[in-house]
Amino acid sequence: MNDMTPRTIFTPAPPRIIAERPAKVVAEGVNVHYGEKRAIHDLSISIPDKAVSAFIGPSGCGKSTFLRCINRMNDTIAGCRVTGRITVDGHDIHDRNLDVVQLRARVGMVFQKPNPFPKSIFENVAYGPRIHGLAKDKTDLERIVVESLKKAGLFEEVKDRMLQPGTGLSGGQQQRLCIARAIAVNPEIILMDEPCSALDPIATARIEELIHELKQNYCIVIVTHSMQQAARVSDLTAFFHLGNLIEVGDTDVMFTSPQDKKTQDYITGRFG
Amino acid sequence: MPDHIMKAYDDDLAALQSMLSTMGGLAEEQLARSVEALTRRDTKLADIVIHADDRIDQMERAVEEKAILTIAKRQPMAKDLRNIMVAIRIATDLERIGDLAKNVAKRSHAISDPIPRRLTSGLQRMGQLAQAQLKRVLDSFAAADSEQAMEVWRHDEDIDALYNSIFRELLTYMMEDPRMIGACTHLLFATKNIERIGDHATNIAENIYYLVHGQPIRDERPKKDDTATTPFSPLNND
Amino acid sequence: MSNNALVKKRYAAERRFKAYGLAAIGVTTAFLLFLILDIAIKAMPTFFVHEATLTVNVDPALIDAANPVAGDYLGLTKKALAAQFPDVTSRGDRKALNGILSAGAADGLQQRVLADPSLIGKDVTVPVALNSGADLYLKGYATAQLSDRQKAWLDALLEKGVISKGFAWNFLLNGDSREPELAGIKGALIGSVLTIIVTLALALPLGVAAALYLEEFAPKNWLTDVIEININNLAAVPSIIFGLLGLAVFLNIFGVPRSTPLVGGLVLALLVLPTIIIASRAALKSVPPSIKEAALGVGASHQQAVFHHVLPLAIPGILTGTILGVARALGETAPLLMIGMIAFIVDVPKGFTDAATVLPVQVFLWSDLPEQAFQSRTAATIILLLLVLFAFNALAIYLRKRFERRW
């Protein structure tokens, strides 16, 4: 379970949360290249289930790239090559027999900018279940939509305007709509790529509260530029720098006494 | 460690640091003067010490305010956070040291009769020892030197040992001459206060260790003060 | 102080720039207005026509009820006209009088009788077309086609109230003709419509499919690069080259019937295909990638993401590009000349394989003819062509506004 690589420091080694929770995602020796450029160097990490793991680090450090490896979103980028082993529940996600579309249904994603489809609120959430055939009939679909919206804490706000366009909502509501859309296909893992960077503090707080609730049932991985946010919502924090995973540790420890000097400098605002 | 990207943040932390060193200097001075006032039974000097304590109290409040403001404004993390928390704790320790010094000084009013030199010399030695400890720990704080702080931490047992022997000595005096009981009790309290000052110095040392390493000290501190556990039997003393 | 001077200088520069812009717009507008006014004034005579309303006795002696098609309707009409001027008796004068009538003067009468044979033997009141010279004279233009006597007769008819002025439906409802007063643009209009239908039916699906593949699915390698560059080059190829290509390939190799909307549409489809591909690619590219990512993120396949989300969002842009491309095709003449759509065709085409011509070619044909009335018809056709193009552009703008989405 503790994949010690010489590069990565565990604070303290290994983090308690990994010992407490089963590992959902395990990466071993992952390298990512964009053409000639190496974006991630020999990365190994275990991500615990039913917990929030935060990736922090300066821009271009590879945290988003690694996040997008987990649901193989990097496949869509021309010239991007991923090597190494990433397993979800022990199954290699690069296995030939594993369908990438199925993988993405299990590993939902929420993006930096709220990106609802320019369709109605209902259609936004119903799209996923529909293409995966998750609903038996129309009432079943409605049930899934309502449940997903409730889980995303948005139902009360939109129940009277389900047929109005999702793009008409406020930024924070749009982001929660995107979370509801991700939840609707029943994922096990939710990846969030800077989900609050376009939101005001109140909307951010709502999303963070939602993340806190969702971690009861999902394995959540969040990339964030806000150290305070990582400190507030996550259980495990991983610090990336120049494509290397520098330090992984329990969030409590990472933000009070990180071991690596780079981590220390970054989280105290001395570089980055 | 490189500077913060925001210079004002560095200024905030530097201000805290300099407030603490001023406060530390004051506490050292108070300790020295209070021991002097007591040994010479100089009530004027004692009054100066008592009045000067207000300044230490004010400074403690100022440090606290500055620390809270810095936390609110900068959301410190990791070492910076520890730095600020440690600053608050050291300020509290220094304020307590100031109080204890004031207490020592007060006793020069209470002791009317001249004290035998033999008794005051022990007190003086203890005062010097505590002062040296305090000075070293403040230096190690300024230099963020946990090794030196650990030295202070380990040497607290010297003060404890000295206190132990003065305690026994005073007991002996009191048994020999019941008229001395009043003065000796005051002296006993004064030495106890100085011993407490030593304890606060070790507190500061522990905080410095935490500041540098991010973890509290795990070992037990060596202790030589067994006065609280030694059964008192006047018949059985050596 | 110097700061103040700088500010003044900056304002002056801004004012100058504004003045240049206004001047440029003014000059362009003046040119355009002049052009349109000129054409409109020239086209005016075509839209109104003078007709004589005569009461004609459908003489059963001349019209055989068993075979009404063969009857001498023109003779009847001439008789009715002669009845208006009982004092004109000499053969030469009668001929001169008949000279004010159009060669197709009896067409209206013939149609009425053929539609209702019971009219044979009765008096029928019908409008009778005058020839183009008479029409022009009545409109007040100087014309050398008429003698002074003919003009006097026309004045007399006008005085009697026999001649009336009306909208020239002929122009819209007739096919081409050697007689200017009978020549209409219905043939060319229908030819244009049929040709554009062929063009759209071919170019739109092909263009969108090619754009979709190139933009979303094609691997990025030198082959797709070459294809992309060549599509861009094709858009800049002179249109007559496409005509030559159509002549060589469609007519000579595949034997598609010449002069037909089918072959015209094929050639024009080739012509607008690059435009449609480029416009469609631009429209597909303008759909934010976040939408596609969102679809992929919930587990849609690449194809589902493209067809459920990207394509629907790109459709307004694709349609706009297509309509503008088609509008360009509508105005093309050169390639059609190469494939024989320049023939003189009287009949209105009834299908894609009937010989036909199109509006711009009709303009080209008429502009070459000497008769004064044809000059006017040319201008009128240009106006009609412009109107059709405006309508296309308006449709493009409407579609863009209607379906435009904001992200």
Q: Does C402 touch chain A (CB under 8 A)?
A: no
Task: Answer whether residue B214 is part of any domain.
Answer: yes
Q: What is the pLDDT of residue B231?
A: 60
C99 or A92, higher pLDDT:
A92
Average pLDDT for residues A157-165, to the nearest whole number? 92
Q: What is the distance between the terminal CA atoms of chain A, rounded to a whole angstrom? A: 31
Chains with at least 3 CB pairs less than 8 angstroms from chain B? A
B32-67: b (≥16 Cβ within 10 Å) or e: bbbbbbbbebbeebbeebbebbeebeebbebbeebb
Interface residues from chain A to C (CB-CB < 8 Å):
71, 73, 76, 78, 101-102, 104-105, 108-111, 113, 115-118, 127-128, 131-132, 167, 178, 181-182, 184-185
Residue of A nearest to C404 (CA): A118
State whether CATH 1.10.10.10 applies to domain C186-403.
Answer: no
DSSP C78: H
CB contact under 8 A, A111 and C299: no
CA distances from B156 to A99, A212, B63, B198 (A): 68, 47, 26, 6
A119: CB partners within 8 A, 6+ apart: A127, A165, A166
Q: What is the pLDDT of residue A6?
A: 44
Range of the domain at B225: 3-229
pTM for this prediction: 0.77
Highest-pLDDT range among A67-71, C18-22, C94-98 = C18-22
Per-residue pLDDT tens for A186-196? Answer: 999 999 999 99
Average pLDDT for residues B167-189, to the nearest whole number? 88
| Residue type, position B59, single letter | M
Q: Which of A102, A109, A117 sits opposite C309 (nearest CB)?
A: A117
User: Going by DSSP bridges, is the β-strand pair A91-92/A107-110 parallel, antiparallel, or unpaired?
Assistant: unpaired
Per-residue pLDDT tens for A129-141? Answer: 999 999 889 999 9
CB contact under 8 A, B82 and A258: no
Structure tokens at A194: 């800077």
pLDDT at A4 over 50: no
Sign of the CA dihedral with B60 first, then B61, B63, and B64 last: positive
Q: What is the pLDDT of residue B233?
A: 54
CB contact under 8 A, C291 and A131: no
pLDDT at B232 over 60: no
- ipTM for this prediction: 0.87
Q: Give residue for tokens 């102080």.
A: C1
Q: What is the pLDDT of residue C43?
A: 87
Per-residue pLDDT tens for B33-44? Answer: 999 999 888 889
Mean pLDDT (chain B, rounded): 88
Give the rounded distance of the alpha carbon of A191 from its chain centre.
2
How far apart (Å, rounded) are the C-alpha atoms in residues A189 and C26? 64
B26 or C342, higher pLDDT:
B26
B188: CB partners within 8 A, 6+ apart: B167, B170
How far apart (Å, rounded) are the C-alpha atoms in residues A104 and B177? 90
Tell me the chain A residues in contact with residue B81 when contact means C-beta distances shorter than 8 Å.
255-256
Residue of A nearest to B5 (CA): A270
Q: What is the pLDDT of residue B5?
A: 87
C281-316: b (≥16 Cβ within 10 Å) or e: bbbbeebeebbbbbbbbbbbbbebbbebbbbbbbbb
Residue boundaries of the structural domains of chain C: 47-181, 186-403
Average pLDDT for residues C12-31, to the nearest whole number? 96
Per-residue pLDDT tens for A244-261? Answer: 999 999 998 889 888 888
Please indicate whether chains A and B are in contact, defined as at least 3 beta carbon pairs under 8 Å. yes
Average pLDDT for residues A41-51, to the nearest whole number? 92
CB contact under 8 A, A116 and C294: yes
Q: Which of C294, C299, C302 sits opposite A115 (nearest CB)?
A: C294
Q: What is the pLDDT of residue A11?
A: 66
Structure tokens at A125: 């959430």
Report the CATH number that the domain containing residue B104 is assigned in CATH.
1.20.58.220
B24 CA: distance to closest CA in chain A (Å)? 26
Tell me the chain C residues in contact with residue A118 when contact means C-beta distances shorter than 8 Å.
291, 313, 405, 407
Highest-pLDDT range among A157-171, C81-95, C335-349 = A157-171
Average pLDDT for residues A139-151, to the nearest whole number? 93
pLDDT at B13 over 90: yes
Average pLDDT for residues C304-312, to the nearest whole number? 92
Residue A92 main-chain phi, psi, to 5 deg: -65, 125
CB contact under 8 A, A269 and B79: no
CA angle C385, C386, C392 (to 5 degrees): 95
Domain total in chain B: 1
Q: Which of B77, B79, B213 sits opposite A227 (nearest CB)?
A: B77
Per-residue pLDDT tens for C210-252? Answer: 999 999 888 888 998 999 999 999 988 999 999 998 899 998 8
Task: Answer whether residue B237 is part of any domain.
Answer: no
Helices marked H in B41-179: 43-74, 78-110, 117-142, 146-176
A160 CA: distance to closest CA in chain B (Å)? 40
Task: Answer whether residue B139 is part of any domain.
Answer: yes
